[in-house]
Amino acid sequence: MTNKWIINVIADLERFAKANGLPELAFQLDRTRLTAEAELELTDYKNSTSASDQMRH
């Protein structure tokens, strides 16, 4: 995952929300982090298969 920094930023925001009594924000940030992880993995997968397809042609 080449863009792992964004996951770390979201996790930092989630920790801040939890530490400052913002449970709904923490919950939403957790969902956002999970979504970002899934989308970044999918993007990495697409990029890797596209690169391997280009090498074959």
Q: Which has the closest alpha carbon to 7: 29, 44, 33?
A: 33
Q: How many residues does the chain have?
A: 57
Burial class (CB in 10 A: 0-12, 13-18, 19+), 45: exposed
pLDDT of the chain, 57 residues: tens digit per residue: 578 999 999 999 999 999 999 999 999 999 999 999 999 999 988 888 865 666 665
Boundaries of every domain in the chain: 1-39
Assess contact for 30 and 12: CB atoms under 8 A: no
Q: What is the pTM of this model?
A: 0.75
